[in-house]
């Protein structure tokens, strides 16, 4: 067996300092190592051109390497000072939002050219939809407790009771959030250190990731933009639980946030895995209500602590409006007909479409049974007729319901990040619908699916990019495809 040639530029596990020179899709900065052997590319996620960064090599091949960002040594000249505490979940918060939009647009369109083989994608771009709120746009945040903290001054980990986020690149290490991150509710985040002090004063231990032991694990907060109310969930292990008074802690939250507190729940999670809510754990309501209400495009949705709901509801309204605009562009293909809403989640798009169309039957399908349960309850609450929801695998559902072939004019697709499985996509194509409205949270897999759709007779009519998550690499796309 021939001996594998050793990489002459970097090796796996090596920590390097590198200047980021370019930007690729998904927030991957491109750096280059130049030496006597030539030039070598290193991709480092969550970086931008002009930054000098410290990264650890995770993968290495003859042509390129991939690194994990450990620290930003010096910032790009495009970056500005901000009044917020930076966190790993917002790597581009120092970058002006217009510049973020430029990077996202260029890299996403390039992706459709390279993977989707759509040479004229620029001509098909309808709109870049920006988030109404650049800051404080999230309606949910999960803060983690840790027995190992990080000292930014000494640049090392320390033994400390922390509540905040994991330090970038250090799975065992947490970092305190001491003030507003600019992403969530400012009042909550500015008071998080008081909650941390309260918990530390009990003498109970925070979670120690390497040892996989401790009492305090997570503090989860959901917010309603409609009512401004907050739903809290404290996640702990069951060990030493009798030593912690949950009712007293609920009173403390009311003392901090007053009538903004809609409810407080307690979750037990004794699993050693890094998951906020365990499959075997229990959730108990301690105070108030276990749900809050949010509004999207004049429809109301009840949200529990475990419900899936769009993280940026104000921008979600813009996203859904674009989907509905594309669907109703040919209203004759929607009115007085059946529309399939595949991978429908909690059925939000289908409900909005049904409320704006005439005599339209929406058939929503999703494999997540709890999402379909929420969809049915929300449709009933909003008093919208003409909706049917099925908890089923989309591919299996289409096999078991052959009556839709050649009978559907419009299909809405909103799959998970992995995109649509090839066999399922083939079944969707075989339905022979006139029009597809394809929503994606991962343009890379959408571009892959688009290549097959165009080979099967669909043309992209238009596409919009929606910036649901400012200060991150994420971008959502809405695409209208029609049969040739």
Pair 324, 356: CB distance under 8 Å: yes
Pair 19, 31: CB distance under 8 Å: yes
Q: What backbone torsions phi and psi does residue 191 show, to the nearest 5 degrees? A: -100, 0
> Is 414 annotated as ligand-binding?
yes
Look at the block and give the residue holding tokens 């609450």: 381
Pair 100, 470: CB distance under 8 Å: yes
Q: Please tell me which residue in 199, 315, 344, 441 is annotated as part of the active site.
A: 441
441 classed as catalytic: yes
> Is 343 annotated as ligand-binding?
yes
Rounded Cα distance between 21 and 28, Å, is: 11
Number of alpha carbons in the 13 Å side-chain half-sphere of residue 21: 9
Look at the block and give the residue holding tokens 């009840």: 302
Please list the residues that pair with 341 across neighbouring strands.
364, 412
Per-residue burial over 467-481, b = 16 or more CB atoms within 10 Å of its CB, e = otherwise: bbbbbbbbbbbbbbb
The annotated binding site for S-adenosyl-L-methionine is made up of: 310, 343, 366, 414
Q: Which residues are catalytic?
A: 441
The annotated binding site is made up of: 310, 343, 366, 414
């Amino acid at each position: 067996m021939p001996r594998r040639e050793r990489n002459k530029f970097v090796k796996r596990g090596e920590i390097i300092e590198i200047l980021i020179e370019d930007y690729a899709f998904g927030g991957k900065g491109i750096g280059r190592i130049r030496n006597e052997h030539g030039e070598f590319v290193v991709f480092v996620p969550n970086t931008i051109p002009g930054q000098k960064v410290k990264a650890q090599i995770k993968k290495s091949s003859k042509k390129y390497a991939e690194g994990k960002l450990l620290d930003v040594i010096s910032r790009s000249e495009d970056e500005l000072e901000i009044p917020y505490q930076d966190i790993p979940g917002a790597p581009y918060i120092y970058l002006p939002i217009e510049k973020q939009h430029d990077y996202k647009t260029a890299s996403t369109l390039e992706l459709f050219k390279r993977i989707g083989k759509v040479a004229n994608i620029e001509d098909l771009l309808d709109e870049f939809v920006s988030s109404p709120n650049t800051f404080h746009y999230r309606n949910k945040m999960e803060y983690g407790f840790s027995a190992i903290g990080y000292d930014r001054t000494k640049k090392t980990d320390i033994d400390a009771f922390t509540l905040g986020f994991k330090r970038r690149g250090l799975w065992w290490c947490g970092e305190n959030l001491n003030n507003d991150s600019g992403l969530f509710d400012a009042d909550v985040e500015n008071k998080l250190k008081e909650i941390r002090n309260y918990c530390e004063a009990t003498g109970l231990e925070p979670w120690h990731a390497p040892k996989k032991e401790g009492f305090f694990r997570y503090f989860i907060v959901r917010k309603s933009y409609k009512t401004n109310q907050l739903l809290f969930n404290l996640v702990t292990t069951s060990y030493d639980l009798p030593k912690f008074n949950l009712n007293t802690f609920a009173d403390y939250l009311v003392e901090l946030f007053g009538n903004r507190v809609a409810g407080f729940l307690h979750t037990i999670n004794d699993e050693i895995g890094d998951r906020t809510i365990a499959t075997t754990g229990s959730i108990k309501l301690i105070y108030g209500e276990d749900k809050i209400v949010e509004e999207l495009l004049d429809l109301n949705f009840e949200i529990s602590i475990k419900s899936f709901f769009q993280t940026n509801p104000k921008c979600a309204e813009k996203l859904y409006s674009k989907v509905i605009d594309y669907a109703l562009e040919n209203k004759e293909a929607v009115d007085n007909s059946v529309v399939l809403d595949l991978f429908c989640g909690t059925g939000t798009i289908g409900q909005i479409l049904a409320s704006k169309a005439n005599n339209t039957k929406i058939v929503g399908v999703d494999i997540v049974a709890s999402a379909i349960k929420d969809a049915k309850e929300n449709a009933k609450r909003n008093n919208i007729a003409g909706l049917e929801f099925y908890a089923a695998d989309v591919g299996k559902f289409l096999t078991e319901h052959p009556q839709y072939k050649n009978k559907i004019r419009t299909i809405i697709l909103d799959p998970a990040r992995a995109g649509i499985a090839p066999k399922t996509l083939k079944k969707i194509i075989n339905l022979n619908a006139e029009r597809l409205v394809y929503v994606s949270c991962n343009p890379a897999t959408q571009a892959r699916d688009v290549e097959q759709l165009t080979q099967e007779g669909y043309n992209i009519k238009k596409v919009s990019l929606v910036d649901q998550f400012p200060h991150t690499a994420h971008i959502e796309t809405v695409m209208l495809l029609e049969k040739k």
